[in-house]
Amino acid sequence: MPQSASTNRRLVLAASPKGEPTADTFRLESLPVPTPGPGQMLLRTLWLSLDPYMRVRIYETDGYMASVKPGEVMVGGTVSEVVASNLPGFAVGDRVHSYAGWQDYALTDGSDVIIKLPATAKQPSLYLGSLGMPGFTAWYALNQIGHPKAGETFVVAAATGAVGQIIGQLAKNAGCHVVGIAGGADKCAYAVKELGFDACIDHRGADLPARLKAACPKGIDIYMENVGGPVFDAVLPLMNLNARMPLCGLVSHYSGAGLNGADRLPGFLTEALFKRIRMEGFIIFDQYPAHYGNFLGAMTQPIESGAVKIREHVVGSLEEAPKAFAEMLAGGNFGKVVVKVA
């Protein structure tokens, strides 16, 4: 839907959901485009990122980051164009990766700008995926926590998602036997045929533990945990002595599902102790100052050249973002979800 240059569409949180987000979770509003004051610039959103962590941000209580309150613009990473600037170092026409949220226009003092995109960037949306937070998550988890060695077995769930598709290829390049777990035969086929995984298991089929064990005959040395639930239950018994487990998400539990029932903590702690498993949780936003520059230096050329393959799931308009967000949380996406806003 084309919008007037004087109108700012924005999606605000209507109410904090008790379970999964629905059509009533967000509300579309139209307001005048704001005018930048001293020390500010006005950004026009070109691309918006949709990511699982956003589910945590719409809880009523604060988690690892402050929650979005009803009436506030929904948070989200963006690639934006500077359309007016009173901020030194930023000129009209510059493109930046920032956190402008689910809206057409946003004012900023520059504190939420992650990077000014190179003028040569041909696919700006990559800075929301493979060259942005998800790609950075994959690179950091594997190199700073996983420490892969040739011949080891690496497993990742959500294997064709924004993080999984990158980290699996990096683990393969490091000489690992790579096994993905994904939802659906088409995703599993893509992981093997296009991404180069050694195997990919459909978690929707019967007897996941037995099929995963068959794909990991030497056990599992590194498991990238971003899902939880039955997938984690299938992985844990296969973890080898001194295995490593980077933990960046638990999407199956973000809405409170699967938190009741039998207490599995004693079993997990026993496995972790006896097998000397190193499990390290991390929030990638903490790592930007120290490591993001190194990540870009290592990954920009492989990604832009196609040596590391990526797949985007493109949503056609801002109005479609709420539906696409709910579908992503249910596993309906295929690749990194980006919204084409302008």
pLDDT in tens, 31-84: 999 999 999 999 999 999 999 889 889 987 766 678 999 999 999 999 999 999
Does 98 have pLDDT greater than 90? yes
In angstroms, rounded to a whole number, what is the distance separating the alpha carbons of residues 303 and 115?
Answer: 17
Q: What is the pLDDT at residue 260? A: 52
CB 194 within 8 A of CB 309: yes
**What sections of the chain are H helices per DSSP?**
53-57, 133-140, 164-173, 185-193, 208-215, 229-235, 265-274, 288-305, 321-329
Q: For residue 250, what pLDDT band results from cuts at 50, 70 and 90? A: low
Q: What is the pLDDT at residue 228? A: 80
In angstroms, rounded to a whole number, what is the distance separating the alpha carbons of residues 169 and 326?
Answer: 27
In angstroms, rounded to a whole number, what is the distance separating the alpha carbons of residues 268 and 272?
Answer: 6
Structure tokens at 21: 């987000």
Q: What is the pLDDT at residue 271? A: 87
Q: What is the pLDDT at residue 1? A: 36
State percent of the chain over pLDDT 90: 78
As a whole number, mean pLDDT of residues 139-151 equals: 97
Q: Which CATH class is domain 133-284?
A: alpha beta
3-state secondary structure of 108: strand
3-state secondary structure of 127: helix
State percent of the chain over pLDDT 70: 94
Is domain 7-128+311-340 in CATH 3.90.180.10, yes or no? yes
Lowest mean pLDDT among 57-61, 208-212, 262-266: 262-266
For residue 157, give Cα distances in angstroms to 114, 168, 203, 331: 28, 10, 9, 11
Q: What is the pLDDT at residue 52? A: 87
Does 303 have pLDDT greater than 90? yes
Q: What is the pLDDT at residue 122? A: 87
Q: What is the pLDDT at residue 50? A: 96
What pTM was estimated for this model as a whole?
A: 0.88
Q: Tell me what the pLDDT averaged over the chain comes to.
A: 91
Show the 3-state SS of 192-236: HHCCCCCEEEECCCCCHHHHHHHHCCCCEEEEEECCCHHHHHHHH
235: phi then psi, degrees, rounded to nearest 5: -75, -45
Q: For residue 251, what pLDDT band results from cuts at 50, 70 and 90? A: low
Q: What is the pLDDT at residue 19? A: 82
As a whole number, mean pLDDT of residues 298-303 equals: 95
> Please, which residues bridge with residue 264 across strands?
none
In angstroms, rounded to a whole number, what is the distance separating the alpha carbons of residues 342 and 338?
Answer: 12
Listed by start position, the domains of the chain span 7-128+311-340, 133-284
